[in-house]
Amino acid sequence: MRMSNYRHLITRFCLFASANVAAVTGYSDVDFVVARGAWPLAIMKWIRGAGPPGPVVGWKSPSITLPHLLLWACGQRIFLFLAILFLPSMIAPTAAFGVTYLVNPGDNISAKLSVLKPGDTLIFNDGTYYQLYINPANGTALKGTAAAPIALRAANDGKAVFDSGGTAEPIFITGSSYLTLQGFVARNSSASVVHVYGGGRGGQNNDHITLRRITAYNAGADNHHVFNIEYPQTNILVEDCAAWGRGRYKFVAYHSSYVTFRRDWAFWEGITTFSPAPRAPFAVYGASNVSLENVIGTNAIPTQADDNYYTSLWHTTDDAINYPANNMTILGSIFYNNCEGHWENESASPGTYMKDNYFSIPVNPACPQFTTRPYGDGLTWNYNANTGIITNAVFVNNKVGLNQFGAVGSLLLSNSVMLSNTTAIVSSATHSYVDFWGNGHNGIAVKSGDQTINPGYDRNTFGTGAYFFVPARSPLKGAGSGGSDIGANIIHQYVNGTLTQTPLWPWPMEGRILDEKGISVTYSSNGGFWNTLNGVYSTPADK
């Protein structure tokens, strides 16, 4: 059939539909009504020949019929066969379009939360709010779906602030799923600052919760933390976040599973109560299958005399039977300028795997002055009887690079650099393809496949960031096992365990952290690592 004949038939159908739609549907030909969750998501006013439908004006009917769709198609001059072709996808019940709502300081946030359905978004306009409290106990649990998550986000990144003034927790979540929070500031808590509270002790399980681009600081005194992922829950992602100020741990996964900390910056700043108890930028505590991808932990230094550990990361459990701390993965991360580096406690469970990490823990005078605990170790394997895999690490300027207390356990160290440490290794670690250069003592016999050669890091040009990649002309390029490099790659992002080609620098939260904390994570001129990024990616320097 010729196209002109199709147009003739469609024109006749549209005239018929326009004349009879009221009788067929009960609505006038200027009301187009669809169901929530279908397509499109509202009553739309239209006039034939007047262009696209107008804005959403409200809800009118819980149903949609074929005549509605056909009439709308006619009014928009759309060929009928196209409308029929796409009809199944347009009315699919799983379509996730959702409704967007706004909230302002002073509004009843609980009332806003209580109406959210899968696919909806609640946008927080600029200003200071008291608390974001999400709990089934008050009807505010948020249950999105995999296809239609619920989103709460700041209208402008970092401009919606939750400040409880020390009388409540600024952000609290329990009993929720498929929920994303993005772009907030949380501060000044009575307990934890951002508290994702799982099952048990009055809470309910969470799953598939994402915290993204949130800065948080100043937990309550005693045993409280800044980002606290606590009690049974699963699939929690904390991505592009930053923590500082008071708090025992800045980021902790406790009795949880499948938690990922990705591109998070932790600047430890102090807690003077709840002692004795370890303090650290990061802790994996009785939690299983936890991943740390491109995280940074620094400044765990005591400010008063006590008997506590101050480490970069504390890995342990208080209940190995019910809450083993197993299968922890650390990828592309940086731990520096703490009293101690990574601490693998004797109770931590099997499955620890580390790749592409940097450890630099020079002796800070405050550590021996204020605490009786060990200091100056880049990585400590504390009488842990399990096997650990450490590959493509860089240990620089540590008192001891790798310290395996009592030679207990089985450490497999490979493709790594030991540079300018007082002692490189104190242990019986099984090692291969390790470069020893400029150490006071290697501490272990050099064997076939090892190197004793200058890695060629260009600190004059790049600053500390020079240690984060293997230079193109380095003798360590391709000198590792199977032709791999000896050294770390911390210039590209890890995502879900895979090293991508997405640049890690400048740091994704560079601007927010500089504005709110006054520290540059990226540039050495204001506390960061890099003198310059010129040549890091454009050449690229590591190729």
Band (pLDDT 50/70/90 cuts) for residue 539 is low
Confidence check: pLDDT of 11 > 80: no
Band (pLDDT 50/70/90 cuts) for residue 540 is low
Residue 265 contacts residue 299 (beta carbons within 8 Å): no
pTM: 0.84
Residue 38 contacts residue 65 (beta carbons within 8 Å): no
pLDDT digits (tens, 9 = 90+) for 454-474: 999 999 999 999 999 999 999
Confidence check: pLDDT of 71 > 90: no
With the C-alpha atoms ordered 480, 481, 487, 488, is the resulting torsion angle positive or negative? positive
CATH number for the region 124-446 comes to 2.160.20.10
Structure letter (DSSP) for residue 288? B
Per-residue confidence (pLDDT) for residue 66, from 0 to 100: 47
pLDDT digits (tens, 9 = 90+) for 233-286: 999 999 999 999 999 999 999 999 999 999 999 999 988 788 889 999 999 999
Higher pLDDT, 18 or 143: 143
Q: Provide the 10 A C-beta neighbour count for residue 475.
A: 15
Per-residue confidence (pLDDT) for residue 217, from 0 to 100: 99
Structure letter (DSSP) for residue 491? S
Name the residue type at position 129: Y
Q: What average pLDDT does this structure show over 307-312?
A: 96
Give the tokens for residue 100: 């967007």
Q: What average pLDDT does this structure show over 415-444?
A: 95
Per-residue confidence (pLDDT) for residue 202, from 0 to 100: 82
Please tell me the distance from the alpha carbon of residue 215 to that of residue 445, in angstroms, as a whole number. 46
* Phi, psi of 44, rounded to the nearest 5 degrees: -120, 135
Q: Provide the 10 A C-beta neighbour count for residue 92.
A: 12
Q: What percent of the chain has pLDDT over 70?
A: 81
Name the residue type at position 120: D
Per-residue confidence (pLDDT) for residue 407, from 0 to 100: 72
The per-residue pLDDT of the chain, averaged, comes to 87
What are the residues facing 309 on neighbouring strands?
A: none
Closest CA to 196 of 149, 119, 289, 134: 134
Residue 158 contacts residue 512 (beta carbons within 8 Å): yes
Higher pLDDT, 57 or 479: 479
Give the tokens for residue 354: 């580390």
Confidence check: pLDDT of 19 > 60: no
Residue 403 contacts residue 410 (beta carbons within 8 Å): no
Minimum mean pLDDT range among 83-87, 261-265, 269-273, 299-303: 83-87
Give the tokens for residue 55: 């804005």
pLDDT digits (tens, 9 = 90+) for 163-212: 999 999 999 999 999 999 999 999 999 999 999 999 988 889 999 999 99
Residues of the chain with CATH 2.160.20.10: 124-446
Three-class SS state of 345: coil
Q: What average pLDDT does this structure show over 329-339?
A: 99
Per-residue confidence (pLDDT) for residue 302, from 0 to 100: 95
Q: What average pLDDT does this structure show over 360-366?
A: 98
Per-residue confidence (pLDDT) for residue 273, from 0 to 100: 86
Per-residue confidence (pLDDT) for residue 498, from 0 to 100: 99
Per-residue confidence (pLDDT) for residue 409, from 0 to 100: 78
Confidence check: pLDDT of 97 > 90: no
Q: What average pLDDT does this structure show over 475-504?
A: 98
Per-residue confidence (pLDDT) for residue 29, from 0 to 100: 36
